[in-house]
Amino acid sequence: MRRLLTLVFAALAASLPAARGAEPGAYAYPVRGVAGLHAASFGEIRPGHFHAGIDIKTDGAEGKELAAVADGYVSRIVVTPGGYGRALYLALRDGRTAVYGHLQRFRDDIEERLRSERYARRANDVDLHFAAGEYPVRRGDLVGYSGNSGASMGPHLHFELREGRTQRRCNILREGHFRPADDLPPRIVRIHYIEIDTLDGIAVEAPAESYAAVRTAEGRYRLTRNEPVGIGRRGYFVVEATDRRNGVHNTFGIWRLTASIDGEPYFEYRMECFAPEAARCCDAVSRYGLQLRTRNEAIRLAQAEGAPDCFYRLAKERGLVRTDAGRQRRIRIEAEDDMGNRSSLEFTVEGRAEEFRARREPGSIALRHDRAGSAAIGHEATARIPAGALYASCYCHPERREAPAAVEGAAVLSPAYRMLDAATPLRHPMTVSIRAEVPRALQLRAALARRTAKGDIAFVGGHYAGGTVTAATRATGELFVVADTLPPVVRPLFAEEADLGGEPALRFRVGDNLAGIAACRMTIDGAWVPCDRFPMRGTLVHFFDTPATRRRHTVRLTVTDAVGNTARWEGSFYR
């Protein structure tokens, strides 16, 4: 009978159309035994991507039971050090996919399947797909346990809903499925005005003019200045805002921003849902250079050339505000969170007589967002930028700059080259090549690196060939050639020949100075065993999966970084 039901259910699941959206309350809550507080909202602007789901607090603990939100089957599991770490995917009967991220472990039968697949493949990282009849679930069934794996800063569940065929990420709270306590309207922190001029069809921006906002009543704000804001003939505003919820100290993203001038709406941004390929477009929605420096969201009230239409319900003249000299107009901006709380800011603008006039800097290069382009500094450095990589056409001015100071274990082998300004985001990677004199002994360890806003060195990647180091990268700002000469650091978190009979795992501290860890391999008594790496905690763990034998064991661990430096450790323990 069970076999028959499984086959019938599999046939139904396979024939389902793409989801149109479920009724509010159609889904069970994905975590059992928690307070229901959230740590992040859908569509928050993160470094390089929109947050694709919601983060549910697990009361500071791991191991909370995770429940299937609806009938379906386990279609996929992924185990990787970064991203969602241990992640589980449910194909739901309504055609959607539910994603559970940062798990501690899967339910027992799936965990056993994972174990056998890892040993068969001799692979720590796996991506397994399952047919409809293998792991069917009913609404409320146990599917796993919450954790802190992958790129997680603390115990929680990352949860997503995706449409079936398109895999568009869905705004769960706006659909009304879960209702965290929230009667707090967004906070409008400040606005910024950017005047623009056009040279050869390319918009050139003046420096931003910033104005602080203060709250006058719940959900109502005004600017700290009383006189009108002076604006030019063409320009746009940026709103710097954030949101709060009851019972937590976390900040959340803005769901909707609208703007009107003299009572007529001219702009609306809305974070409803987005396709996977639009995830990086947060760098077009935001004022990128400002977003890098603030803890708030800095959202442009203007649509960039390369920004997808899906985020904009309204963008008259792409959000540009036009005002004649001496004319006063009234601007109203409204911010709304995904629970329907709203805040507003109103102020007067006045057209000024003097206009911003852009001037093309000598040696600058015009780059069009819809065409391939390149920038070079002689034969020393070249950047090739594919069509569609830029969110907006711009001018760049390649510069050679002083090389940064070397850090321990890393040799800096070229000057720094700024091909694109650090405040210029890229949707697709550009290819950067830098010529450098690299000693033969360092050629296999050579790569590109960048200087961070704090002046530190961050690894980019790439390889050396024929006197040039080349990398595909979205990193802008100052790039240069480095050679990483230090192997990773490996330190056991147990004493030599320690008795681990009562321990669930074998644990190590692992880290790297620059390139980052790329691979790990562990054997016990000469036989390969799986290990899990937790980069946010700097640990590597083998969870014991065989009974204790009360004897001495030999363990060997090899850790390799992204340029091939290798560390080897050998020791023993009793279990």
Model confidence band, residue 454 (pLDDT cutoffs 50, 70, 90): confident
Alpha-carbon distance of 481 to 435, in angstroms, equals 8
Spell out the residues 6+ positions from residue 397 whose beta carbon is closer than 8 angstroms to its own: 361, 363, 364, 365
DSSP per-residue letters across 376-409: EETTTEEEEE-TT-BSS-EEE--EEEPPPPP-TT
| Phi and psi angles of residue 282, each rounded to the nearest 5 degrees, phi first | -55, -30
Output the pLDDT for position 406: 83
Instruction: Find out whether 215 and 277 touch, Cβ atoms under 8 Å.
Output: no
Residue pLDDT, tens place only, 179-194: 999 999 999 999 999 9
Residue pLDDT, tens place only, 427-451: 999 999 999 999 999 999 999 999 9
* Local structure of 110: helix, strand or coil: helix
Output the pLDDT for position 423: 94
DSSP per-residue letters across 486-517: PPPEEEESS-TTEE-TT-SEEEEEEE-SSS-E
CA 518 to chain centre: 20
pTM: 0.92
The identity of residue 227, as a single letter, is: E
Largest CA distance in the chain: 88
Alpha-carbon distance of 301 to 285, in angstroms, equals 8
Question: Which residue is listed with tokens 């540009």?
Answer: 320
Output the pLDDT for position 509: 98
Is the pLDDT at 12 greater than 80? The verdict is no
**16-20, 90-94, 131-135, 308-312: least confidently modelled range:** 16-20
Share of the chain above pLDDT 90, in %: 92
Instruction: Find out whether 58 and 36 touch, Cβ atoms under 8 Å.
Output: no
Instruction: Find out whether 304 and 391 touch, Cβ atoms under 8 Å.
Output: yes
CA 193 to chain centre: 27
Alpha-carbon distance of 125 to 556, in angstroms, equals 19
Model confidence band, residue 3 (pLDDT cutoffs 50, 70, 90): very low
Output the pLDDT for position 405: 87
* Local structure of 520: helix, strand or coil: strand
Output the pLDDT for position 317: 95
Alpha-carbon distance of 344 to 337, in angstroms, equals 12
**187, β-bridge pairs:** 242
Model confidence band, residue 22 (pLDDT cutoffs 50, 70, 90): confident
Residue pLDDT, tens place only, 209-227: 999 999 999 999 999 999 9
What number of other Cβ atoms are within 10 A of residue 147's Cβ? 24
* Local structure of 444: helix, strand or coil: helix
How many alpha carbons lie under 13 Å from residue 545 in its C-beta half-sphere?
18
Instruction: Find out whether 329 and 261 touch, Cβ atoms under 8 Å.
Output: yes
Q: Which pair of structure tokens corresponds to residue 44?
A: 């928050």
What does the mean pLDDT of the chain come to?
A: 94
> How confident is the model over 57-77, as a mean pLDDT?
97
The identity of residue 115, as a single letter, is: R
> How confident is the model over 248-263, as a mean pLDDT?
97
DSSP per-residue letters across 301-369: SS--TTS-GGGEEEEGGGG-B---BT-EEEEEEEEE-TTS-EEEEEEEEEE-SS-----PPTT-EEE-T
Model confidence band, residue 17 (pLDDT cutoffs 50, 70, 90): very low
∠ CA 209-212-218, rounded to 5°: 145
Model confidence band, residue 21 (pLDDT cutoffs 50, 70, 90): low
Alpha-carbon distance of 446 to 410, in angstroms, equals 10
> How confident is the model over 113-126, as a mean pLDDT?
97
> How confident is the model over 273-285, as a mean pLDDT?
95
CA 367 to chain centre: 26
Residue pLDDT, tens place only, 362-379: 889 999 999 999 999 999
How are beta strands 209-217 and 220-223 bridged, if at all?
Answer: antiparallel
Instruction: Find out whether 295 and 187 touch, Cβ atoms under 8 Å.
Output: no
